[in-house]
């Protein structure tokens, strides 16, 4: 056999191995506020409510074609978990310490893409995937969401407008449809994400001239059902275009809410449409809200309230996903991962969400189902992993290579362990809330109260471990104390809340002119508005773009803003590309101004999916994609305006946990 034939054969075999070893499509479902103990396949002795959920589909997935991780940690509350999932960094790097304690004391919220620019969205898009993010976001405001790198979004409730400038192409800032309320407005205090939901569509093909459209809904519309319809439509379109797809589905199922059809109801887990598991299939009954004369509703085919019903509806979703994948011929080519963003929010406040005792706040499920991966490990896997591992795991599955020197990842890929290439995953995992730190390996655990536990034997409820201090002195205790000593130095590395809790400050600028002291020390005192070298670029923008104010050939054309076309899995878009100094950080923000059909508009750069990539020399490449504009040929002009930072100082938060 000739060399060329051998090479061709090896390439064919390699491609075949790749198909078997790595699935083509990825579906990541992250539920809201549900501990691992609520899922029957974890076999916990404790669960929330008066009935245990039944999850026949997930039970099958965990044992047949899939596996689940016994000890998988998120953060203890949703925003820190969301950013950890999105960019693979712990709070010491991304500054999301709690829902209201984020490093945001700058012009814009310190978004996930600012602290670590390679997000789940950008990574999957760069890997050639069509991608969509559906349901809850809650890690940014308005336009920030687009810069996570997802081309399509289906949000409930909608993202609020970011600031007065966020209104490109006359897009409405607020939902034009009324939010359902009972006859007493006090009974319903926020937008619905279950019955009669507020659905916002971003960059959806059904609305080519409305990049931010709203779907009109009625009282019988159930958000989780609508989410699945939009996801399945996206999968169909991706399949037709022969594009691999990535679905990030973050449903609100599990979250406490008020039931908009029950006046005076306390915060509960609102009932779901009635389901029946029959002959290996789910049957969903049609829900009805029948109005009464007094403004209340009679409810038909709707379950009683309760977390177990939400868990069961998630199981129904898993069945729907699998049936859909079978129908389009993609089941063997797809991996499904299922998790939750933090522990259960007990209505009495006694368990889970936000709690730092034992592992109550951060112990969540991780179910992995990939029937087409023949060497995937099956069943219960007694290892430790956390949310920081998701991004590198999916990157390996999707064939994405992180740039050389990229140092923003706090986790590592699970894929070698899941496919049997490695017998072990990580030595330890980590979680936090504000300045409370939690860490564990397979032998010891430290909770947020500073108490150390023996975790060699799992208790029935997954958290009532024996304290190290309660163990008798001897060889066994000494071994565990040695494990404790291994983990303590890592805590010191991450313990930055009280000394470095903010987004990075802009570089020192004693005279407040927007040009750093270091730049002026190098080139002399500069008037920001002057053009020292007469090249048409003032000194302020020379600094922003990393130019030399004395050299008329600097900045180069590549450094200055210029229009380009960028392609991804869903098309070609107009973009503005430029270079800036990395040290500027989020305080130096920019707006893009232009006109369309004679109407002027202004919007900040993140509206165009602002993405960052380091050049490795102290500068970074910025691409502001005009992805929201579906009629780019009508654009008459674009220009970039950079705003100087507002002076700010570091602040310290009070510790609310003590």
| pLDDT greater than 80 at residue 9 | no
pLDDT tens digits, one per residue of 490-544? 999 999 998 888 888 889 999 999 999 999 999 999 999 999 999 999 999 999 9
Query: Would you state the pLDDT for residue 629?
Result: 54
For the chain, helix, strand, coil in percent to 5 are 25, 25, 50
**How confident is the model at residue 141, as a pLDDT?**
61
Q: Determine, yes or no, domain membership for 399.
A: yes
Residue that the structure tokens 């029937």 belong to: 371
550-598 confidence digits (pLDDT tens): 999 999 999 999 988 888 877 778 888 999 999 998 888 887 777 766 6
More confident residue, 432 or 198: 432
Residue range 36-60, pLDDT digits in tens? 999 999 999 999 999 999 999 999 9
- The whole-model pTM stands at 0.92
Residue 64: pLDDT over 60: yes
Examine the fold and report which residue of 397, 427, 443 is the final residue of a domain before the chain moves on: 443
Q: Is residue 580, in this structure, part of any structural domain at all?
A: yes
- Distance from C-alpha of 274 to C-alpha of 595, rounded to nearest angstrom: 50
Determine, yes or no, domain membership for 495. no
Q: Are residues 423 and 570 in the same domain?
A: no
| pLDDT given at position 248 | 98
* Residue 280, token pair as written in the block: 């290996």
Average pLDDT over residues 360-365: 98
Please report the pLDDT score of residue 289 as a whole number.
Answer: 94
Among residues 99, 101, 26, the alpha carbon closest in space to that of 390 is found at 26
Q: Which of 306, 248, 261 is nearest to 120 (CA)?
A: 248
Share of the chain above pLDDT 70, in %: 85
User: pLDDT value at position 189?
Assistant: 42
pLDDT at 4: 45
Q: Cα–chain-centroid distance for residue 459? A: 31
The pLDDT value recorded for residue 190 is: 47
Count structural domains, the chain.
2
Query: Is 182 part of a structural domain of the chain?
Result: yes
Last residue of a domain, one of 387, 422, 443: 443
Q: With contact defined as beta carbons under 8 Å apart, do 225 and 217 qualify? A: no
CA-based Rg of the chain, rounded to a whole angstrom? 26
At 19, the pLDDT band (50, 70, 90 cuts) reads: very low
Per-residue confidence (pLDDT) for residue 167, from 0 to 100 = 43
Domain boundaries, position 632 = 561-657
What angle do helix axes 307-327 and 56-63 make, rounded to 10 degrees? 60
**358 vs 650, residue with greater confidence:** 358
Return mean pLDDT, the chain.
Answer: 87
Residues 261 and 406 placed together within one structural domain of the fold: yes
Q: How confident is the model at residue 1 (pLDDT cuts 50, 70, 90)?
A: very low
At residue 192, the pLDDT reads 76
- Percent of the chain residues past pLDDT 90, beyond the cut: 64
The reply to whether 181 falls in a domain is yes
Is the C-alpha dihedral spanning 251, 200, 120, 352 positive or negative? negative
User: Tokens representing 112?
Assistant: 């996930």
What is the reported pLDDT for 164?
39
Give the pLDDT confidence score for residue 178 in this predicted structure.
46
Residue 16: per-residue pLDDT = 35
Measured in residues, the chain has a length of 658
Report if residue 16 sits inside a domain: no
Residue 550 within any structural domain of the chain? no
CA distance linking residue 388 with residue 157, whole number of Å: 26
From CA 118, how far away is CA 411, in angstroms rounded? 14
- Using the predicted structure, report yes or no on whether residue 470 has a pLDDT greater than 90: yes
Contact 549, 604 (CB under 8 A): no
Residue 239 has pLDDT above 70, yes or no: yes
Q: Which H or E element spans position 93? A: helix 91-94
Mean pLDDT on 437-443: 98
Q: Using an 8 Å Cβ cutoff, are 337 and 368 in contact?
A: yes
Asked if residue 390 belongs to a domain, the reply is yes
Of 402, 421, 443, which closes a domain? 443
Residue 82 — very low, low, confident or very high, per pLDDT cuts 50/70/90?
Answer: very high
pLDDT single digits (tens) 300-354: 999 999 999 999 999 999 999 999 999 999 999 999 999 999 999 987 777 899 9
DSSP for 206-236, written as a single string: T-TT-SEEEE---TT-BHHHHHHHHHHHHHH
CATH number of the domain where residue 172 is located: 3.40.720.10
52 shares its domain with 198: yes
pLDDT for position 188: 40
**pLDDT band for position 653 (50/70/90)?**
low
Over residues 67-82, the mean pLDDT reads 97
146-184 residue pLDDT tens: 788 898 999 988 765 544 344 444 444 444 444 443 344
Q: What is the pLDDT of residue 260?
A: 77
For residue 369, the tally of other CB atoms under 10 A from its CB is 26
- The answer to whether residue 18 scores a pLDDT higher than 60 is no
Confidence band for 396, pLDDT divided at 50, 70 and 90:
very high
Q: CA angle at residue 579 from 574 to 584, to 5 degrees?
A: 120
Label residue 651 by pLDDT band (50, 70, 90).
low
Going through 229-374 in order, the beta strands assigned E by DSSP cover: 245-250, 275-278, 281-284, 288-291, 297-300, 334-340, 363-364, 366-369
Displacement of CA 183 from its chain's centroid (Å): 36
In eight-state DSSP terms, residue 96 is B
CA distances from 132 to 135, 198, 246, 378 (A): 10, 18, 7, 28
Identify the residue with better confidence: 180 or 438.
Answer: 438
Judge whether 15 and 325 are in contact, CB under 8 Å: no
Identify the weakest region by mean pLDDT among 2-11, 282-291, 404-413. Answer: 2-11
Most confident range (mean pLDDT) of 106-120, 162-176, 217-231, 249-263 is 217-231
């Amino acid at each position: 056999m000739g060399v060329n034939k051998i090479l061709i054969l090896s390439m064919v075999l390699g491609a075949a191995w790749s198909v078997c070893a790595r699935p083509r499509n990825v579906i990541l479902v992250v539920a809201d506020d549900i501990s691992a103990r609520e899922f029957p396949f974890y076999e916990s002795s404790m669960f929330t409510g008066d009935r245990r959920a039944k999850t026949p589909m997930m039970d099958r997935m965990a044992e047949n074609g899939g596996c689940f991780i016994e000890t998988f940690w998120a953060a203890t509350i949703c925003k820190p978990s969301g950013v950890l999932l999105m960019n693979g960094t712990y709070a010491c790097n991304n500054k999301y310490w709690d829902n209201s304690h984020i490093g945001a004391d700058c012009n814009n919220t310190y978004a996930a893409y600012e602290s670590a620019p390679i997000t789940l969205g950008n990574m999957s898009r760069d890997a050639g995937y069509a991608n969509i993010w559906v349901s809850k976001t809650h890690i940014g405001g308005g336009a920030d969401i687009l810069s996570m790198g997802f081309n399509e979004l289906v949000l409930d409730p909608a993202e609020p407008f970011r600031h007065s400038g966020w209104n490109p192409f006359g897009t409405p800032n607020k939902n034009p449809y009324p939010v359902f309320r009972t006859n007493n407005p006090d009974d319903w205090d926020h937008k619905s994400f279950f019955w009669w939901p507020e659905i916002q569509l971003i960059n959806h093909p059904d609305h080519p001239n409305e990049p931010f459209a709203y779907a009109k809904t009625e009282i019988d519309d159930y958000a989780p059902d609508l989410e699945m319809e939009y996801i399945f439509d996206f999968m169909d379109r991706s399949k037709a275009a022969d594009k691999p797809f990535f679905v990030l589905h973050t449903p609100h199922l599990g979250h406490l809410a008020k039931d908009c059809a029950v006046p005076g109801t306390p915060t509960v887990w609102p009932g779901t449409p009635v389901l029946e598991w029959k002959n290996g299939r789910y049957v969903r009954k049609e829900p009805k809200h029948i109005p009464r004369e007094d403004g209340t509703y009679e409810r038909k085919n709707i379950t009683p309230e309760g977390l177990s019903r939400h868990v069961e509806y998630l199981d129904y979703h898993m069945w729907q996903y699998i049936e859909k994948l079978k129908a389009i011929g993609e089941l063997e080519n797809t991996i499904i991962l299922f998790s939750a963003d933090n522990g259960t929010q007990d209505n009495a406040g006694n368990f889970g969400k936000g709690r730092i005792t034992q592992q109550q706040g951060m112990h969540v499920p991780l179910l992995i189902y990939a029937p087409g991966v023949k060497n995937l490990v099956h069943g219960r896997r007694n290892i430790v992993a956390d949310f920081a591992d998701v991004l590198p795991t999916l990157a390996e599955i999707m064939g994405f290579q992180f740039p050389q020197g990229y140092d923003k990842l706090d986790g590592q890929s699970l894929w070698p362990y899941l496919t049997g290439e490695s017998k072990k995953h990580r030595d330890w995992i980590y979680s936090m809330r504000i300045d409370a730190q939690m860490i564990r390996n397979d032998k010891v655990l430290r909770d947020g109260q500073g108490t150390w536990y023996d975790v060699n034997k799992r208790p029935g409820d997954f958290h009532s471990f024996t304290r190290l201090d309660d163990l008798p002195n001897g060889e066994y205790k000494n071994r565990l104390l040695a494990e404790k000593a291994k983990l303590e130095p890592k805590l010191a590395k991450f313990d930055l809340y009280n000394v470095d809790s903010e987004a990075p400050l802009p570089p020192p600028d004693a005279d407040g002119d927007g040009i750093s002291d270091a730049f002026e020390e190098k080139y002399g005192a500069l008037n920001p508005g002057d053009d020292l070298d007469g090249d048409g670029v003032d000194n302020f923008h020379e600094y922003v773009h990393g130019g030399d104010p004395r050299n008329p050939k600097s900045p180069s054309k590549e450094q200055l803003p210029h229009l380009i076309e960028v392609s991804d899995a869903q098309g070609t878009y107009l973009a503005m590309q430029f270079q800036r100094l990395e040290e500027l950080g989020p305080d130096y923000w920019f707006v893009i101004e232009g006109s369309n059909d004679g109407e002027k508009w202004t919007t900040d750069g993140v509206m165009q999916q602002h993405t960052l990539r380091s050049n490795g020399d102290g500068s970074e490449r910025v691409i502001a994609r005009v992805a929201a504009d579906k009629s780019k040929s009508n654009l008459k002009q674009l220009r970039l305006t950079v705003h100087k930072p507002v002076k700010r100082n570091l602040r310290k938060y009070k510790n609310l946990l003590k």
